Chains A and B, each alone.
Chain A
Amino acid sequence: MMAELSQWVGSLPISVAMRRITWLVPMLQTLHILSIGIVLSSVIMIDLRVWGASRSGTAIARSERFMPWMWAALAVAALTGIALMLGAPRSFRDIVFVAKVYLMAAATIATAALPIMLRRNGCGGREAGVPARVVGVVALLLWLGATLAGRGRWIAGMLAG
């Protein structure tokens, strides 16, 4: 069913038009990659304070400092991603793409939960508790997993033999 869906999207006039502009797909891919970089670095910056590798400011202030960057970059990544699904729709045929969507959803939930957990922390969000630390690392690992899965089309081919 997914194979037919991606074939249908690929045959849409907009998809054909997008592929006719030869620089469009690599340009969208570049924006996609750069915005994912900002998502990753925002989560890294929050994690550094949550884990105490950096002691400047409070954990809650750090998360409030970088979450707007994370959301903005995630929006750009999502929009360029959707545009790429239109322009180069072969990806949603494979299970690695489906896995990426689930990883992204889980990563978004974990990242969004982090400031909430820090705010509810007993010591006013100065130092993060163990649950927040774990969620922080899990969020980063999920984002890394989603990033890798984005270029993991070959894995589906390998699994299929």
Chain B
Amino acid sequence: MNAFTQLLHLVETTPLAIFVSQSTYAFAAIDMFHVAAVCIVFGTIAVLDLRLIGMAFSDFSVTDLSRQVLPWTWTAFVIAAITGVLMFTGQAAKYAVNFAFLVKLALMALAGLNVLMFHFVTYRAVAKWNHGVPAPWPAKLAGALSLMIWVAVAAYGRFTAYYMFP
């Protein structure tokens, strides 16, 4: 058994993981909150993405829209992450070889890089394009990437479940 397999086994045998995999309803109940949280993550971030791209909501300033939307996005993301980790622990070894799940993780890492890049580089000069003018191309690109990545994350999330429980 290599170190990675051992680690997955360790994850699967924690009391919480055993509860998730053994209980009749735990997984389905956690999944219910996971999907609802994902809905809110996508829906709220899409509002900001569309504003950045310049497709909608140009009557709002970028900072105003961020202030309204992001607390919802982050709260929902934390719920989605916690419930996602819980579901993973129950069958860690199976998820680790689920192609759709691995693509989903890679896409989320990409989304993370996109957010970091946007927040620490592009967003610094937000005052210049906050209102009344189109956002510069790096901001538009960040919005377009975010939108596409989250659509794909949702899709690969569904495919993960599909390959897991065909």
* Chain B interface SS verdict (over half): helix
User: What does the 1/0 interface line of A76-95 toward B look like (CB < 8 Å)?
Assistant: 00000000000000000000
Segment among B6-14, B36-44, B120-128 that sits at the interface with chain A: B36-44
Complex Cα distance A148/B31, Å?
A: 10
Within residues 61 to 90 of chain B, which ones have a CB less than 8 A from any CB in chain A?
61, 64, 67-69, 72
CB distance from B16 to the nearest CB of A (A): 19
Whether B28 sits at the interface, judged by CB under 8 Å, is yes
* Least Cβ–Cβ distance between A13 and chain B, in angstroms: 22
B158-A26 in contact (CB<8A): yes
CA separation between A153 and B25, bound complex, in Å? 10
Over the window 1-26 of chain A, the binary record of Cβ atoms lying under 8 Å from chain B Cβ atoms (1 yes, 0 no) is 00000000000000000000011011
Q: In the complex, how many residues of chain B place their beta carbon closer than 8 angstroms to a beta carbon of chain A? A: 35
Q: Which residues of A contact B (CB under 8 A)?
A: 22-23, 25-27, 29-30, 33-34, 36-42, 44-45, 48, 53-54, 56-57, 65, 144, 147-148, 150-154, 157-158
Please determine whether A41 and B25 come into contact, CB atoms closer than 8 angstroms. Answer: no
Query: Does B39 contact A33, Cβ atoms closer than 8 Å?
Result: yes
Q: Is B151 an interface residue (CB 8 A)?
A: yes
Q: How far is the CA of A22 from the CA of B155 in the complex (A)?
A: 13
Residues of B within 8 A of A27 (CB): 155, 158
Q: Shortest distance in angstroms between A30's beta carbon and chain B's nearest beta carbon?
A: 4
Chain B 138-166 near chain A by CB (<8 Å), digits 1 or 0: 00000000000001001101110110000
**Top 4 A-B residue pairs of the complex, sorted by shortest distance between their CB atoms:** A37-B43, A41-B43, A154-B28, A26-B158
Knowing A148-B33, A154-B25, A157-B25 touch, does A45 contact B38 (C-beta < 8 A)?
A: no
